[in-house]
Structures are given as C-alpha cells and as structure tokens.
Amino acid sequence: MMDADWLFNSIRDQSGDTEFYLPLPAGYKPGTTKFVVVFGTVMSGLGKGIFSSSLAKCVQDRGLRVAPIKLEGYLNIDSGTLNPFRHGEVFVLDDGTECDMDLGTYERALDQDLSRLNFATSGQIYRRVLERERTGAYLGRDVQMIPHVTGEVKNRLRELAVATQADVVFVEIGGTVGDVENAHYIEAVRQLAFEEGQRSVCFVALTYVLEPPILGEQKSKAAQLGIRRLLECGVQPHIIACRAHGPVTRKVREKIALFSNVPPERVFSMHDCESVYLIPELLRGAGYDKAVMEWLELQPRATEEEERAAREAWTQYLVRLRNATREVTIGITGKYTAVRDAYASILKALEHAGVYLGCKVQTRWVDTSELTDETAAAAVQDLHGIIVPGAFGTRGAEGKIACLKHARRSGLPCLGICYGFQMAVIEFARNVCGMEDANSTEIENECRYPVINLLPEQKEIEGLGGTMRLGGHDIVVKPGTLAACMFGSRARLRFRHRYEVDPRYIPQLEAGGMVFSGKSPRAEIMNVLELRPDLHPYYVGTQAHPELTSRPLSPQPFFVGLVHAALRRACPDYAEPLVYPHEAADPSDEERPAPQPRSHRVEQV
C-alpha cells in the first residue's frame, strides 16, 4: 500500500500535474481519526442504523469519542419533503436539519445531539461540487465523478472528524451494495482506506442469512453473492455481521468466511432480539467491539473505568426493562398508522418513559382518517391514554379533533404533539369557547375563527419558502403549572411546523380553562398548553416534537407524565409519586413548584 504520509504531504498541485485530488479540511491531521464503514448487502431494512449505532455505543463505552454520519443516495437536499408512507418519519436535529430517522437512532444510542455534519445526501454532495465548479475552485479541470464527487464525500467525512475531534467516525452507507445511487459512496470509502493507510479504516458488511420455512435450514448463498458485489467494488470487508431470525450456525459462518476472505472469528451472528436496547450487550458478548478495536489498533485509547461506569448504567436500564410488571395501552391516533416507522421516535419515547416508571407500554394504532364524533369514543374506549401526533394537511384532522374531544370530556390522559397541539386548540375553541367555526387556515383558509394561523411575520416571507420553524428553540415556562413541574423555568424543545396559535384568541381560550404554560421568549408563540387540574388529570399539548429528544437514560417529561397518568387510570391501586427525570436548565427550589396530585375528577366542560 502507498505510504499515507507521502500521499498527504506531497500532493499540493491539483491543476494538472497529478491525478490525485485530495482536498483536506483545515485542521485535519491524518491518522488521528479512525473510520468504521457499515455496508448493507442482500436487501434493505436489515437494521444498519441500529447495528451501527449499537456498535458505536460499544466503542464509546470504552472511553472513545465517536461521531456517526449517514450517507444517503437520494438526490433530495434533505429529508424534509419525503412522504412518511415511503420513508418513515422525518427526524429534526437541534440545528434544524431535517434528516433520516436513523439519526434519531444514533442520538438515542449515543446520547448525543447531532448536527448537519452527521447527515449527507447525494443532492448535497452534487450541489457542493457544482458550486465549487462555478466559482473556479477546480482550476479549470474537467469535473468528474472520480475524483471530484468522491473527493467531496471524503471531505465531508474528514470535516466531521475535525469538528468533533472524534477518535472514530462511524459511516453508514444507506441502501444496499449494488444500488446505482450508492456507487460513489462505496468508491469514496475505498479511496479513503487507500489514502489513510493501513489499520485506519474498518469495513463492516451487514448481510442476511435466509432460512426458508419450507427448507428448515439456513442458506448462505444470498449472503455470499451480496458480499461478492462488495468485493467487486474493491472493498474487502474486515468484519461480517450476519442478520437472521435465529443464531447463525457455525457451518454457515464458516462458509461465508471462505467465500469472503474474512477469518471465521470475525464473522458474527446478529440474530433478532426482543428489544434493540439489548443489541449492545449482544455485540459485546460476540466480540464485535473487540474486533473493531483490534483492527484499528485503538486499545491504547480505551479507558477501563469509563467502560465500567457506562456498562453499569446501561445494565441498570436493561434490568428495569426486563423487570417491568405493570402494563398500559396508549393509542396513537394519526393518519400514517399503516407505516410504524412514521412514528418511530414516539414509540421509543413511550418505551423510555415506561422503563423509567417500571411498566410496559403497549401501543394501539387508531387511524383517524374516517373517525367522527360518534365513532371516536368506540375507537379509544379501552385505552389508558392517547397521543395525537404531528402531521400536515387536512386528511384525518376532524378525526383527531373527535378523539381530543372525547379525551377531554372523559378524562382520558392525552398528549397532543405539534399538529395534535393545534387540533386541541381548535377543539377547545369550538366546544368550550363557543367558536363553532374555529379552524386552522391550513385546513380552511376562510374560516370565521382562525385560531391556528400563520403569524404576520410569517406571511411576509411566505413566498420565499422560509415559513417552517425548525430545530431547537428555548421556551419560557409559566410558574405554578404542570410544565413547570416538568422543566422548571425554561426548557429546550425541537420544532417542525408553520402554523401557530393566533394571539388574538388567546384571552378567550384562557378564560375557558386552557393554560398556555410555555411560550417563546421573544414572541407571542405558544409552545405548551394544558388544562387546569380541576378540569382534567393529564391533558397536555406541545407545538414541539418532544419525542425527538427522548433518550433511554433520560426520558422526555411529556411522555413520563402521560404514562404516569395512564398508569393511574389502568391501576386504581397505583400510588407511586411522580418525580420527573429532567432538571431545568437553571433549576432552583424557588422556581420549581412541588408536584401537586392531579384529581381524576373531570368536569364536563
């Protein structure tokens, strides 16, 4: 292999005297950062994000700093316009980046807030190449897939390494080997390994071992052919992870090793688990992290004390997960219920809250597309709580309003998220405040009471396409409210919406008993609502998407409150006091009111 130091130190002229194109971000030091690249073979949907994030957590637990990046093949600049039916939920980062749901998997596993540097699409890569071409950055050279597009991919990986000072960058390439749209990514990481030098890049292939029921045995041919496609691209995997329903047999692993040039001790089984949170322990037990550490020669950077503390904290979480005894059922009332990935972060947030409270949370899907006032009660009658999640557009809106009306009148614990928050305002305005024609201008532009509306400053820039409120924003919490018990005086939440509560109607809504307990510090933007304790045991809404910031070891307070209220409804003998897990950014005893028990008595308002 070419000496990496010579390569980095000698290439300076990129105008025509050399065929190498090697842009390096400022501050990049070759050899400081190692790279783990995860590929998928055979088929998509194998769980590359879960596998890669779990492996990254194992390395992180050893005391190393890790940084993930997801490389997507599609030409969209981001995930903001993708249909949930086709691609699952859009995950929003604190800096406002709209990205793939796998970034949520990484944030939850690594307990990190990621940024735009952790996500790249082919559209972003091509746009950056073309912008550089237009400004003359390529010094008159003809711009090609190789070396310029692949060079930009490598540049993105190295920029992330510089920005995060990571010991290891975990690179997940979306889709499967053989997809046309991923060819430049695979070629780029092949070049990366060539340039960085020996033991700087670890290639991990995630493959699938078939087990047709009619045969009753595991078959490895599809896995062999998938790995062969990777070898044809010039990439020799160093580790192979075999996905399967049950443990992959030694015979099958040896056969895959023979046809892939990978030692049998680095061909591992990765079979199904009852929870994704058991996978880090499965990987550790199999020796995945040890294999990565040895191949990349990272053992000197590991810290036993940090690994011991991290594993102890995770073990305690797993103990609570396994020992949960009580059970509640929460309904998710939306219009994307046919695709569970559309609400992936909500499902995880419910699981985190359930583990924190020592219970199992079951979910039931309630499609609101055809629901009415007459049918909503029957659809949610056996539930212990409901979530009205985010969405856009008119379909299913009236069904959500019907579910909210039933929950408010019956005392059913309820959490409205984003669009659900807006529908809660509309329902309350119609049925409590006497504004029968209340609606959102997103649904009915000429309604008499536009309680949900674009604010004036948004209307001024509507033509520029800049009306979406994205990313993390601070909110100010009203003292003496349920939100104050959750957060203290301030909180930071993530948003993805355009429409707001119209300030003109806030006095009427508050007079009816609705409390706006969280708002933007610099504008009359309402971010959190709740009903007074004498009106409802737990009826809360937020304009934000709190599910995006829930983590296994730090569950999101909105979901903790919902599950706790559901427990009290499901188990009349349940009397455990609720202590919210989060502390405010500026906590003090004076600012945080003592939690008050909320009555189950409901006034029919």
Residues that are catalytic: 418, 545, 547
Q: In whole angstroms, give the CA distance from residue 316 to residue 309.
A: 11
Cβ 157 vs Cβ 192: under 8 Å: yes
**DSSP state for residue 592 in the 8-state scheme:** S
Tokens at 205, concatenated? 């292939």
Q: Is 294 helix (H, G, I), strand (E, B) or coil?
A: helix
Cis peptide before 593 (omega within 30 of 0): no
Can you state the angle between helices 419-431 and 397-410, rounded to 10 degrees?
60
H helix or E strand, kind and range, residue 194:
helix 183-196
Residue 140: how many CB atoms within 10 A of its CB?
7
Tokens at 196, concatenated? 């960085």
Q: In whole angstroms, give the CA distance from residue 433 to residue 508.
A: 7
Cα atoms in the Cβ-side hemisphere of radius 13 Å centred on 486: 29
**Would the CA dihedral through 64, 67, 73, 74 be positive or negative?**
positive
Give the chain's length.
605
Residue 515: which of 506, 524, 502, 523 has the closest Cα?
506
Cα atoms in the Cβ-side hemisphere of radius 13 Å centred on 297: 8
Q: In whole angstroms, give the CA distance from residue 58 to residue 61.
A: 5
Q: In whole angstroms, give the CA distance from residue 92 to residue 312.
A: 30
Cβ 192 vs Cβ 35: under 8 Å: yes
Q: Which residues contact 250 (CB under 8 A, 6 or more apart)?
A: none
In 377-506, the DSSP E strands lie at 385-388, 414-417, 438-440, 449-453, 469-477, 490-497, 500-501
Beta strand 449-453 pairing with 500-501: antiparallel
Cβ 53 vs Cβ 105: under 8 Å: yes
Q: Which residues contact 463 (CB under 8 A, 6 or more apart)?
A: none
Residue whose entry in the numeric block shows the structure tokens 């044809």: 232
Cβ 479 vs Cβ 489: under 8 Å: yes
Q: In whole angstroms, give the CA distance from residue 600 to residue 605.
A: 15
